[in-house]
Amino acid sequence: MRRTFTWLFILAIITGVFSSCKKEFEKYENPDWLKGKIYTQIKATSDLDSFALCLERTGIDSIIDISGLFTVFAPTNQAFQTFFQQSPVYNKISDIPKEELERIVRYHILQSSWTIAQLQALDVRGWINPDDPTNDIARGYKRQTLLRDDDKKYSAAYTMGEYRLSNSVHAHTYRMVFTESRKYAPIFFDDFLANIKITGNDYNFFFNSGYAPGQMHYAGARVISKEIYSENGILYKLDEVVLPLKNAEELLEQEYNNHSYSDFLTMVHKHGRLSQNMAETMKIPAFKRGEPVDTLYNLTFPALTFNIRNELTNPAATPSTYTIRYHNGMVAPTNQALNDIYSEVITGPNRWINRDLVPDDINKILINSHMSRTPVYPTNFTQGFINGADDMVVLDPSTVIQTDYASNATFIGVNKAIIPKAFTSVTGPVYLSPVFSIFRRCIEWTNTLAAFKKQNMNFAFFIVPDDVITSDSSLFVTQSPINPEIMQFRSLDRYTELIVTRTRTDLANQLFNQTAITHPTGVGRKEFIQNLAGNYIVFDWETNTVSGGAASTAGYRGGAIVDITPQKIDEPTDNGSTYIANAWFSYPTENMYSVLNTPATSGFFNLMKGAGLVDDSNETLRFLTAGESYTAFIPSNEALLQHNTASMTNAAKVQFVRYHFVKGDIIFTDGKKPASPYPTLRVDESSTSFSTNFSNLHIRPAVDVIDILNPDGSLYYRVHENTVLTNKMASERINNTYVTTGVVHVINTVLIR
């Protein structure tokens, strides 16, 4: 009896398990509205008959209805009807050539299955996370479609050791360029617009459909349905047929309302570089069969802001990932606009003779000035945007003649070219006149242009013409016979009579030393203006000469002294003035130890030495901090004789010496510094074991004098500008260049606390 009950219990459990499994199986059966895979779902969805026919005519129905995951944005029947009404060529689907129809269909299909939430919640670092402050904002908006452009044939020529793009007249051959990626489609939604700080008006600028807040937009079409699920993907309805977006190169190839961009495209193509891609070549089916095929090449534009053909955007390590967020911008000048900027700005009297003789580096700046690493929207027109030449640009809307949202850039055609800041700043004469070609190449090679064209400045920029540089052998430029972009700069070292190779850092500092960061006022005997290298340019208004604080010489490290009498170039610039200099500036190379170790200050130097403050082995002063700025008021030998320093204790000597050094400021006799108590190096009696205070020296700088005051404001001593005794600069070698870190004024008194 008990055994029978046990078997019945086990049987009940087994029956329950099978019953449960049957219920679970029934639970996961497809619902009635899930008709099958995505093509079957399209066929069963009302208002999508036209798109279903497109899928059938192209054979893509069999692709998306077998395997894989897809997201399909399907235009409705009404969308197709509107498309044919507006088309000047086609009246029905059968009118569209199969190849073109396939391109249209493929551009409406994304790889993988995306819900509306997922389409709005992805960025370059993956899904956004509200709890991650570094990845909580959705800025990724582009998705890769199934459309891939064919590999493209370009005219090419073998130039300087490599294949480059060439116009058909001079082309030696052609090269087949590999298409690296399928096309991307942009998807716009409210959060995205808010996150990148644009509005619906910015969208409307490029798309005629008009932005509808609260709805998602697939390129220029509105998504008018929620998700429609299938077994292998998700379907959405669109209110318009979306034509594949062209890339920037394709738009430059087309005319628009009798305007052409062909000249700009030719300029861009001149910077195209070709390199073999054997890995992709070997994947060609005909290659595997041993049949002759065109070798595939990669096309790059290393000197330009972005690749006008490539669908992948942003020069990142993983561009395919970054492309979902990053987009470029192009402001394309028409042929007439280019002709105008060359004739009105770049060529002419005291300019380049003609357009053909303008160097490539200048053309490159002009090209990059019309490109951007970020999209350009109307919001940016007045706020400004940074172009590929790193200039802040404000665009005049009245110059815009065409707008297109390209697949890799926003495209804006203009009838007035953007003038690069390199042409309007103090570097303008350098780039626009052939007589400063060596100086210009030096700027380009050292990559220092950004420093000189900085806006809201009042530079005094001293440039040296080619004839001076050539005659004194201060700089030679040697270009590679294979690639002129590869340059070497050398100088004749007149001290050693050897040719020395110059480094980028060395030459960059030489250029910075030619640039005063503010303009002199012309007041007083001498003015000392800091330059971009951290040294000081000295304007001597009595002799009308300019120097770097040391005597200028003919040639690099030369011995023959040259007085530099600059000539102002009478051309408008927007950040200062440019002067022609007849030599390079020279700067002090002696440190404070060397400046004070002279007969004129030997008494004070020996006092420091006796107090243990001098390190002769390293030729430094022990109490000074490397890299710090100092102003030293040094008593003359005669002044020290009148002060009994011999009777001082060693501690008193140290305090006495340190009181003659102001720390943290370089004070000249030009009145540039404010009147103030300046801390010295003397440790004040108010110091405690917890804090160290330093005694102040009350100083009132003025034009040609420096007044040292008593604490009550009365005059203690007046330092008069003197060519021999004052404004003697000291320098330190920092990062392989000399930087002014101190100034010495010899005074006929001692400073007593």
When pLDDT is averaged across residues 215-230 and rounded to a whole number, the result is 97
Lowest mean pLDDT among 97-106, 153-162, 290-299, 490-499: 153-162
Cα–Cα distance between 10 and 355 in angstroms, integer? Answer: 97
Residue 71 tokens, joined? 């997201």
- Asked whether residue 248 carries a pLDDT value surpassing 80, the answer given is yes
Q: Residue ranges of the domains in the chain? A: 38-147+183-244, 266-418, 423-580, 592-747
Look at residue 28 in the predicted model and tell me its pLDDT: 39
Task: Report the pLDDT averaged over residues 457-483.
Answer: 91
For the stretch 696-705, pLDDT in tens is: 999 999 999 9
What is the rounded average pLDDT of the residues 446-457?
A: 96
Q: pLDDT band at residue 24, thresholds of 50, 70 and 90? A: very low
Task: Assess whether pLDDT exceeds 70 at residue 629.
Answer: yes
* Whole-number Å distance between alpha carbons of 492 and 472: 9
Q: How far is CA 481 from CA 131, 172, 199, 272, 484, in A?
A: 57, 20, 51, 19, 6
Q: How far apart are CA 165 and CA 274, in angstroms?
A: 7
- Show the tokens assigned to 387: 């172009």
For residue 479 the two structure tokens come to 């270009």
Average pLDDT of the residues in 404-427? 98
Structure confidence at residue 201 (pLDDT) = 96
Residues 105 and 60 sit within 8 Å (Cβ to Cβ): yes
Superfamily of segment(s) 423-580:
FAS1 domain (2.30.180.10)
Q: Minimal CA–CA distance to 538: which of 666, 707, 452, 718?
A: 666
Give pLDDT tens digits for 110-132.
Answer: 999 999 999 999 998 889 888 88
Q: Which of 218, 272, 274 is nearest to 241 (CA)?
A: 218
Positive/negative CA dihedral, 387, 390, 395, 399: negative
Mean pLDDT, range 12-28, rounded to an integer = 37
Task: Report pLDDT for 179.
Answer: 95
Task: Give the pLDDT band (50/70/90) at residue 434.
Answer: very high
pLDDT at 316: 62
| Structure confidence at residue 36 (pLDDT) | 84
pLDDT reading at 210 higher than 70: yes
The confidence score (pLDDT) of residue 262 equals 96
For the domain 38-147+183-244, what is the CATH code?
2.30.180.10
Name residue, tokens 């020529």: 157
pLDDT over threshold 50, residue 23:
no
pLDDT at position 272 is 92
Q: Per-residue pLDDT for 431 more than 70?
A: yes
Q: The tokens 């640039």 sit on which residue?
A: 515
* Dihedral pair phi/psi, residue 462, rounded to 5°: -110, 110
**pLDDT exceeds cutoff 90 at 5:** no
Beta bridge partners of 620: 615
| pLDDT given at position 367 | 98
CB-CB contact of 380 with 366 (8 Å): no
Residue 168: pLDDT band (50, 70, 90) is low
Report d(CA 273, CA 270) in Å as an integer.
Answer: 8
The distance of Cα 40 from the centroid of its chain, to the nearest Å, equals 50
Lowest pLDDT segment from 217-226, 383-392, 420-429, 637-646:
637-646
| Residue 747: band (very low, low, confident or very high) from pLDDT cuts 50, 70, 90 | very high
Q: Are strands 70-75 and 233-238 parallel, antiparallel or unpaired?
A: parallel
Tens-place pLDDT, residues 523-582 = 999 999 999 999 999 999 999 999 999 999 999 999 899 999 999 999 899 999 999 999
Predicted confidence at residue 486, as pLDDT, reads 83
- Number of Cβ atoms within 10 Å of the Cβ of 443: 25
Q: What is the mean pLDDT of residues 643-659?
A: 91
701 strand-pairing partners: 706
More confidently predicted of 28 and 734: 734
Summarised one tens digit per residue, pLDDT across range 357-405 is 999 999 999 999 999 999 999 999 989 999 999 999 999 999 999 999 9
Question: Which range is least confidently modeled, 33-37, 262-266, 311-315?
Answer: 33-37
- In angstroms, rounded to a whole number, what is the distance separating the alpha carbons of residues 207 and 193? 15
Band (479; pLDDT cuts 50, 70, 90): confident
How many other CB atoms sit within 10 Å of the CB of residue 179?
17
In this predicted structure, the answer to whether residue 8 has a pLDDT above a threshold of 50 is: no
Residue 54: CB atoms within 10 A of its CB come to 24
Q: CATH classification of 592-747 is 3.40.980.10, yes or no?
A: no
Q: Within 13 Å and on the Cβ side, how many CA atoms surround 664?
A: 9
Residue 617 has pLDDT above 50, yes or no: yes
> Residue 13: its pLDDT value, please?
33
* Residue 143: its H or E element: strand 142-144
Domains 423-580 and 592-747 share a fold: yes
Confidence (pLDDT) at 193? 96
Classify burial at 292, counting beta carbons within 10 Å of its beta carbon; exposed 0-12, middle 13-18, buried 19 or more. exposed
What is the model's pLDDT at position 35? 63
Given a cut of 50, whether residue 26 has pLDDT beyond it is no
Q: Is the pLDDT of residue 14 over 60?
A: no
Average pLDDT of every residue of the chain: 92
How far is residue 519's CA from residue 586's CA, in Å, rounded to a whole number? Answer: 19
Does residue 19 have a pLDDT over 70? Answer: no
- Return the pLDDT at 603: 95
- pLDDT value, residue 485: 73
Q: What is the CATH number of domain 266-418?
A: 2.30.180
88-106 pLDDT tens trace: 999 999 999 999 999 999 9
pLDDT of residue 6: 36
Averaged over 412-432, what is the pLDDT? Answer: 97
Residue 600: is its pLDDT beyond 50?
yes
